[in-house]
Structure 1
Amino acid sequence: MKSYDEWAEAQEHTTVEVDGHDLDVAYYEEGTGEPVVFLHGIPTNSYLFSKVIDPLVEERRVILPDMVGYGNSQQTDNFDRSIRAQEVMIRGLVDDLGLGSIDFVGHDLGGGVGLRFASHYPNEVDHLVLSNSVAYDSWPIKIITDLGLPESARENSPADIQGMLDDLFRGTLYGDDPDEAFIEGMKTPWNSEEGVTSLVRAAGSTNTCHTTEVDPRNVTADTLLLWGLEDEFQPVRWAERLEGDIDSCELVGLEESNHWVPADRPEAFREHLARFLLD
């Protein structure tokens, strides 16, 4: 598995227009074949999935963007970072890379983007995987709404935010021996004044209406819900509701996993992805 620095070095960049802003989008790409797009949530980046893509890249073209405002994508303080805007980014990226129809794997906010995209473009998403995804009015959670207050950007230094993120991941990764490389990979992109402001703006862009306005019953893609059962942020009851609303849907609950499922249970995550997307 690549280190975060190796991952970042291997990323490519393209420009996508989002609401009149030409924004730089960093993405990691590997493999050939039919495309699979992965999308992370807050406060992570595409490195979240670094442990789970190996089986797919042998047969598929795997694309993992950093959402705008996140990771190594553009972080300037002049554009929307909401999941509505991230859907526009994905629309532009799919078109720019000539992907056509795709499979989509989304975690947390990335799952909310996947729900929107699969609902709005039902003929372009064949398979949808949602992992501890935001949906309905399950979000934002208090830690994110507090972080999104404008004064958070003025009152917190990069060191303050690094400490907060360190505590967050150490407190919510499952088990007593967290992956240090994973934690550093999640924290590093925010370690600057611009990064602090970008994270606060991302938190402030969490808008419940951007999921409540979407009816999951409009999703026609075959759907897999890969859910960490110990999640305190997006409890499994939201997955159970999605399972009832999406016609072709399977819920797989993963024991010994909190919110960060690709990091907590990478082997199981890989196995279920391969079964669902490759078989």
Structure 2
Amino acid sequence: MIRRQFLGMTVGALAAGVLGGCASALGVQPAAGGGAAAAGDDAAAAAAFRAASGFMKTPFGNIAYAERGSGEAALFLHGFPLNGFQWRGALQRLSPYRRCIAPDFLGLGNTEVAAGQSVAPDAQVAMLADLLDRLGIDRVDVVANDSGGQAAQLFLAKYPQRVRSLLLTNCDSEIECPPPALMPVIELARQGKFVEEWLAPWLADKTLARSKQGLGGQTFTYPTHPSDEAVDTYLGPLVRNADRTHAYAIGLDRPWLHGIGPSLARFEGPTRIIWGTGDDIFSERGAQHLQRSFGNSRGIRRIEGAKLFFPEEFPEVIAEEARALWGV
């Protein structure tokens, strides 16, 4: 029932053979999607991410973020209901080339939201600008996924001089903002039931979280994802702070990207789209629209069969495309 509500359709899990073919097409060994070798790589990336994590005190609250590397900065914007931990593998690979910043949005992750502070997308943009100011960062290369992609476009529209390049994965576009599949989540959040009926059961039962009915089956490519550690990291803070979690979801119920086209077209920095074709949330139409929206688009790379949160599963693809876009 939950899956039908969320996706509006029934989509079976990808078979192991299909996943193996997907990995081969990417030039990635199957272990990179969830085998023992990948688990070892992920453990190292997770440990390094946690060691690099801290808080920045701002008027918006205490913003949780991880920082790795030095030099020119890159800003990594996560999806919902995830947090900056989503980018641990990408930071592991890209911190030799950039000063990588991965914050937790207001209302998600470990960020401590100030009393009375909005967690809507426009507030997220203002928070990001303030965080960068406090870190002494003028310009960034932006890498974003899901609702983080919406925030990235809004940030670009408001602060075009602060963005050097843009790497977008499956996310909102002007024609899918919010996507229809998100509406049941928003409605449950309005009723105060989203956390109780969805997130809390997944947190309590990791097998359920990885099932077809769970976060994993809906938004991850491989049936071994998300890991137990990732489930705890993502959902634990959201279950403990249900009111702010619901406020974040409700804040997405508006076409925030309406009319953004001219701002995207004026952007002169290079933009690249990486799109998982197995995503049940954002459509191929959205990818095409984004590709046409930017004045300096570098086209679309499609990852066959990959679902919404594939950047966590294929950090090597993110790193490869980011380095190509940055010229490093």
Root-mean-square deviation (Å): 2.5
CA displacement at 1:163 relative to structure 2: 5.6
Q: 1:147·1:204 contact (CA, 8 Å) conserved in 2?
A: no
CA shift in 2, pair 1:274/1:147, >3 Å: farther
Tell me which residue corresponds to 1:231.
279
Q: Which residue of 1 aligns with 2:311?
A: 262
Q: Which amino acid aligns with 1:263?
A: E
Structure 1 residue 14 and structure 2 residue 56: aligned? Answer: yes
Q: 1:61 maps to what in 2?
A: 99
C-alpha change, 1:240 and 1:95, in structure 2 (3 Å) is same
Is the alpha carbon distance of 1:6 and 1:159 closer, same or farther for their aligned partners in structure 2, counting shifts above 3 Å?
farther
Match for residue 176 of structure 1? 223
Q: With the length of structure 2 as denominator, give the TM-score of the two structures.
A: 0.75
Q: Does 1:209 align with 2:250?
A: no
Give the match for residue 198 of structure 1: 244
Match of 2:156 in 1: 118
Aligned mates of 2:315, 2:124 — CA distance in 1: 25
1:165-206: per-residue Cα shift (whole Å, max 9, x none)? 9212233311333241333332222231xx222211111110
- Asked if the contact 2:62/2:114 (under 8 Å) is kept, the reply is no
Partner residue in 1 for 2:185? 144
Q: 2:66 aligns with which of 19, 24, 28?
A: 28
Cα offset, 1:264, TM superposition: 3.2
Match of 1:43 among 57, 61, 81: 81
Question: Could you tell me how far apart the structure 2 residues matched to 1:182 and 1:254 are?
Answer: 22
Gaps of 5+ in 1: none
Q: Is the 8 A contact 2:199 2:235 kept in 1?
A: no
Indicate the SS of the match to 2:257: helix
> How do 1:71-150 and structure 2 match up within 5 A?
71-75=109-113, 78-138=116-176, 139-140=178-179, 141-150=182-191
Corresponding residue pairs, total = 273
Q: Which moved more, 1:23-32 or 1:176-185?
A: 176-185
Residue identity over aligned pairs, in percent, reads 23
**In terms of Rg, which structure is larger?**
2
Counterparts of 1:80 and 1:182, CA distance in 2:
26
- Give unpaired runs (5+ residues) of structure 2: 1-41
Moved more, 176-185 or 54-63: 176-185
Helix, strand or coil at the partner of 2:243:
helix
Q: Which secondary structure does the structure 2 equivalent of 1:104 belong to?
A: strand
Taking the aligned partners of 2:48 and 2:311, their CA distance within structure 1 comes to 19
Q: Deviations over 1:51-81 (max 9, x none)?
A: 1222321121001100111111014663211
Counterpart amino acid of residue 216 in structure 2: F
- Greater Cα shift, 217-226 or 137-146: 137-146
CA distance in 2, matches of 1:175, 1:152: 28
Larger CA deviation: 148-157 vs 34-43: 148-157
What TM-score do the two structures reach when normalised by structure 1? 0.88
CA contact (8 A) 1:32 1:59 kept: yes
Distance between the aligned counterparts of 2:217 and 2:194, measured in 1?
23
CA separation of 1:210/1:145 partners in 2, compared to 1, >3 Å: closer, same or farther?
same
Helix, strand or coil: the match of 1:208? coil
